[in-house]
């Protein structure tokens, strides 16, 4: 299973055999050690292997073929004696009464999914080098495969959940005499508890995670995976349904970043790595492995632990200057969406707002109540869903907190804090029920590689968004809030269809931001046209300067969403270093959605979008799910010869500029804001050509520009062959460039 990627190969393997067995819940119990730059502890995985995982593979042979007597090497370590942080000496166990559940369990989903185009390699990933059966149809032991990278796995053991006091209520068949079957039945009953028993379920998970081990399991690791088996367990239903893994991260692990914040204090955070969370904890990375989680994280008392969780966790003080933090999630989501950040963050409290502030907590942008009514039963797996909660449906502004290094306190209060309420309210007015019940916003360290990142219940923002006026901060905040619906509550079943997340967020950020500013419709349209011009220029640049194969939004075409029989797959271009800097999925996705909205009319389009959110929240989708529902829900006269096939052909499965977009941009008239920029560009060009000494009467009168107009002006001026130093100095003085948003 050791996949040595060819330097010319840039696909990311997803190794987990999710077609055979699924993780339903993770319990993490971790210590954060800043001296060694290691996170260490245990993770307990609770599995389900229902009938859907018992079918025999028909197309891909996955029984391993021994290459030699040494073909299958598994380890069972001697009892481990590892050095751990001091916190473990007093609090490594979390008892029945210690697990605190705060707040209500009501949340949403997210997701993305991977696919592959090299079927031979995908098959090899899951099977060909091991003499152990990764499914349940061979004669050898069942092999559990987890995604894992840059981790030191020290021990794997089965958890004796049957030893937990009171757990016998989960045994349907008291006559069971095989202890392993009894344990698995307990877990099967636990993972299928109804949603209204979520508190009891979390409590049972916590107690079971502290149960003693009942036998070490054989395991091995390679570059991309952790493989585990139990001697004699030949099928997935026979495999232990609760296992504990003792492990530690590595300082250079690619899922986490150890650094210093803007005040010079140490911190660590997950960074949205291309390899996702597999270097933070062993997991099933394919999005179909939708799971819940709970975590206990210990660190020195001077640190604040933020994490994807429904509760606004507060620290529990421990001995010797350490604190413990507890988070939980009751909405199943892919493991890749979990985020953690530990640092000396300070919570930024808002100062008193005046009635004339940009946002007022009770401002209502809401359309008719009928838009928010959930019709029928939700289509997702059962969990405490906010879309079925009447009070959640009318909650425009969810509870939120802001954290940052103390040195940024004034800037956050001046810029960020006052923007969050109107942006949340604007999003609610467009899409309805907030999928998540709360939001933390963290200003991450200066080495954060992008402007923002959204995860369940938490958003990371770059310090760059705090400079200048509120425009960049507001638009970026709206973009990340939009991901609550598209990217998290509704996720892509195939990760190559990134446009389903980024295209929607880019399109919605303009709509949210216009409403947050309370712009008149004509003014909102002008600003959106201006931003479309900027994005058109960026898309043209990207198409000219990137490989054609990376410009396609649906690269796997008819195989989109397919995986091997084991569930393993490859993410096309997932490890390509160029991909990090590309915006094609943002831009082409944005222009497709803008094209559809203009064809249908905003009222029709956004009415449909609210219906789509209610139908698909908590689920994973492919492009055709969105497009088919769109076409089915609009009058025939408004379809205007649109079809799923034509959209695939023109927009999603071709490189370069889509022809409908090319036609639209060529025929479109410039908006007023763009024409104003053209006038100012002409003035600066004249000034740039003039000799140093000129008469006073020749002085140009320059107009004040909006932030996006300034960006467009500078782009035009940079296209000039030369700009003399005098012009550059004048530009800096005229527009106060050092004080502007980071984009100019």
pLDDT at residue 130 tops 50: no
pLDDT at residue 109 tops 60: no
639 pLDDT tier (thresholds 50, 70, 90): confident
* Mean pLDDT, range 28-54, rounded to an integer: 88
* Mean pLDDT, range 542-571, rounded to an integer: 93
Q: What whole-number distance in Å separates Cα of residue 586 and Cα of residue 582? A: 9
Rounded to 10 degrees, what is the CA torsion of 683, 686, 692, 697?
-60
pLDDT at residue 128 tops 50: no
Query: Which domains can be identified in the chain, with CATH numbers?
Result: 13-50+137-341 (2.60.40.1730), 345-353+381-667 (1.10.390.10), 672-690+700-739 (no CATH)
300 pLDDT tier (thresholds 50, 70, 90): very high
Q: What percent of the chain has pLDDT over 90?
A: 72
Q: What angle do CA 567, 152, 203 make, to 5 degrees?
A: 70
pLDDT at residue 80 tops 90: no
Helix/strand/coil percent split, the chain, to 5: 35, 20, 45
Q: What is the pLDDT of residue 700?
A: 82
Residue 323: name the closest of 80, 39, 31 by CA.
Answer: 31
Q: What whole-number distance in Å separates Cα of residue 254 and Cα of residue 278? A: 9
* Mean pLDDT, range 682-686, rounded to an integer: 94
Q: pLDDT of 461-488, one tens digit each?
A: 999 999 888 999 999 999 999 999 999 9
* Mean pLDDT, range 124-133, rounded to an integer: 40
pLDDT at residue 501 tops 90: yes
* Mean pLDDT, range 242-264, rounded to an integer: 96
Q: pLDDT of 427-454, one tens digit each?
A: 999 999 999 999 999 999 999 989 999 9
Q: Is 168 exposed, middle or buried (0-12, 13-18, 19+ CB in 10 A)?
A: exposed
Residue 286: name the closest of 487, 491, 114, 144 by CA.
Answer: 114
pLDDT at residue 317 tops 60: yes
Q: What whole-number distance in Å separates Cα of residue 672 and Cα of residue 689? A: 26
62 pLDDT tier (thresholds 50, 70, 90): very low
End-to-end distance of the chain based on CA atoms, in angstroms?
Answer: 48
Q: What angle do CA 19, 65, 71 make, to 5 degrees?
A: 105
* Mean pLDDT, range 377-398, rounded to an integer: 93
Q: What is the pLDDT of residue 697?
A: 54
* Mean pLDDT, range 181-197, rounded to an integer: 94
Beta bridge partners of 326: 296
pLDDT at residue 308 tops 90: yes
> Over the chain, what is the mean pLDDT?
85
- Spell out where 122-260 has E strands: 144-147, 151-159, 213-216, 218-221, 225-229, 242-249, 256-260
Q: What is the pLDDT of residue 579?
A: 84
Helices (H), 41-159: 88-91, 119-126
pLDDT at residue 102 tops 70: no
Q: What is the pLDDT of residue 216?
A: 97
Q: pLDDT of 572-603, one tens digit each?
A: 888 888 888 899 999 999 999 999 999 999 99
In this structure, what are the phi and psi dihedrals at residue 156, rounded to the nearest 5 degrees?
Answer: -130, 130
* Mean pLDDT, range 142-148, rounded to an integer: 97
State the DSSP string of 124-157.
HHHTTT-SSBSSSSSSS-B-EEEE--SEEEEEEE
User: Do 548 and 555 form a contact (C-beta atoms < 8 A)?
Assistant: no
Q: What is the pLDDT of residue 681?
A: 96
Token pair of 223 as six digits: 């570059």
pLDDT at residue 97 tops 60: no
- Strand pairing of 22-33 and 291-300? parallel
Who wins on pLDDT, 584 or 375?
584
List the catalytic residues. 480
684 pLDDT tier (thresholds 50, 70, 90): very high
CA atoms lying within 13 Å on the CB side of residue 677? 22
Residue 626: name the closest of 550, 528, 560 by CA.
Answer: 560
* Mean pLDDT, range 650-679, rounded to an integer: 93
Token pair of 451 as six digits: 């402007």
User: What secondary structure, in 3-state letters, does 315-380 show?
Assistant: CEECHHHEEEEEEEEEEEECHHHCCEEEECCEECCCCCCCCCCCCCCCCCCCCCHHHHCCCCCCCC
Q: pLDDT of 216-249, one tens digit each?
A: 999 999 999 999 999 999 999 999 999 999 999 9
State the DSSP string of 460-507.
EE-GGGGSSSSHHHHHHHHHHHHTTTBTTTEEESSTT-THHHHHHHHH
User: Do 25 and 289 form a contact (C-beta atoms < 8 A)?
Assistant: no
Who wins on pLDDT, 669 or 374?
669
175 pLDDT tier (thresholds 50, 70, 90): low
* Mean pLDDT, range 53-78, rounded to an integer: 38
Q: What is the pLDDT of residue 698?
A: 65
pLDDT at residue 3 tops 60: no
pLDDT at residue 514 tops 70: yes
């Amino acid at each position: 299973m050791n996949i040595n990627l060819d330097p010319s190969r840039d696909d990311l393997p997803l190794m987990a055999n999710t077609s055979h067995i699924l993780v339903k819940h993770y319990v993490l119990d971790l210590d954060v050690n800043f001296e060694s730059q290691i996170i260490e502890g245990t993770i307990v995985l609770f599995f389900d292997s229902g009938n859907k995982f018992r079918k025999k593979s028909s197309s891909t042979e996955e029984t391993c073929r021994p290459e030699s007597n040494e073909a299958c090497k598994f380890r069972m370590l001697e009892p481990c004696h590892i050095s751990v942080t001091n916190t473990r000496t007093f609090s490594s166990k979390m008892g029945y009464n210690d697990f605190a559940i705060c707040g209500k369990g009501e949340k949403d989903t997210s997701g993305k999914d991977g696919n592959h185009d090299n079927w031979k390699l995908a098959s090899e990933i899951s099977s060909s080098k091991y003499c152990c059966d990764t499914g349940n149809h061979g004669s050898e032991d069942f092999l559990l495969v987890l995604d894992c990278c840059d981790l030191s796995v020290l021990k794997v053991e089965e958890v004796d959940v049957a030893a937990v006091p009171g757990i016998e209520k989960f045994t349907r068949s008291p006559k069971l005499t095989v202890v392993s079957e009894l344990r698995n039945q307990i877990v099967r009953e636990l993972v299928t508890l109804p949603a209204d028993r979520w508190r009891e379920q979390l409590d049972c998970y916590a107690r079971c995670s502290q149960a003693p081990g009942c036998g070490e399991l054989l395991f091995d690791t390679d570059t991309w995976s952790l493989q585990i088996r139990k001697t004699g367990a030949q099928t997935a239903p026979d495999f232990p349904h609760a296992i504990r893994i003792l492990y530690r991260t590595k300082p250079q692990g690619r899922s986490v970043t150890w650094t210093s914040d803007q005040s010079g204090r140490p911190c660590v955070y997950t960074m949205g790595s291309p390899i996702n969370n597999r270097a933070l904890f062993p997991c099933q990375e394919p999005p179909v492995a939708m799971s819940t989680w709970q975590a206990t994280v210990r660190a020195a008392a001077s640190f604040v632990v933020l994490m994807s969780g429904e509760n606004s966790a507060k620290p529990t003080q421990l001995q010797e200057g350490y604190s413990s933090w507890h988070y939980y999630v009751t909405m199943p989501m892919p493991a890749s969406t979990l985020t953690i950040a530990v640092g000396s963050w300070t919570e930024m409290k808002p100062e008193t707002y005046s009635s004339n502030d940009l946002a007022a907590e009770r401002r209502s942008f809401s359309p008719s109540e009928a838009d928010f009514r959930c019709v029928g039963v939700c289509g997702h797996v059962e969990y405490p869903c906010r879309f079925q909660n009447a009070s959640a449906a009318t909650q425009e502004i969810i509870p939120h907190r802001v954290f940052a290094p103390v040195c940024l306190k004034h800037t956050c209060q001046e810029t960020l804090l006052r923007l969050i309420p109107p942006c949340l309210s604007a999003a609610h007015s467009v899409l309805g029920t907030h999928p998540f019940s709360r939001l933390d916003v963290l200003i991450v360290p200066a080495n954060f590689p992008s402007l923002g990142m959204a995860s369940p219940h938490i958003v990371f923002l770059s310090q760059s968004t705090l400079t200048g006026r509120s425009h960049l901060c507001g638009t970026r905040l709206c973009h990340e809030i939009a991901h609550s619906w598209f990217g998290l509550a509704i996720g892509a079943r195939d990760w190559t269809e990134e446009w389903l997340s980024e295209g929607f967020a880019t399109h919605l950020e303009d709509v949210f931001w216009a409403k947050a500013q309370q712009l008149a419709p004509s003014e909102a349209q002008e600003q959106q046209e201006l931003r479309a011009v900027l994005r058109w220029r960026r898309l043209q640049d990207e198409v000219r300067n990137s490989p054609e194969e990376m410009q396609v939004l649906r690269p796997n075409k008819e195989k989109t969403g397919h995986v091997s029989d084991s569930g393993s797959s490859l993410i096309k271009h997932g490890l390509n270093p160029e991909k990090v800097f590309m915006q094609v999925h943002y831009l082409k996705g944005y222009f497709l959605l803008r094209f559809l909205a203009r064809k249908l009319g905003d009222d029709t389009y956004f009415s449909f979008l609210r219906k789509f959110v209610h139908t698909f929240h908590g689920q994973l989708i492919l492009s055709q799910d969105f497009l088919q529902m769109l076409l089915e829900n609009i009058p025939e006269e408004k379809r205007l010869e649109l079809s799923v096939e034509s959209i695939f052909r023109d927009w999603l499965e071709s490189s370069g500029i889509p022809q409908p977009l090319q036609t639209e941009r060529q025929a479109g008239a410039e908006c007023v804001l763009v024409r104003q920029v053209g006038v100012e560009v002409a003035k600066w060009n004249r000034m740039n050509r003039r000799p140093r000494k000129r008469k006073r009467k020749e002085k140009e009168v320059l107009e004040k520009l909006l932030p996006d107009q300034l960006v467009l002006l500078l782009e035009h001026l940079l296209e000039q062959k030369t700009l003399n130093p005098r012009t550059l100095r004048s530009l800096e003085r005229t527009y106060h460039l050092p004080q502007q948003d980071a984009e100019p």
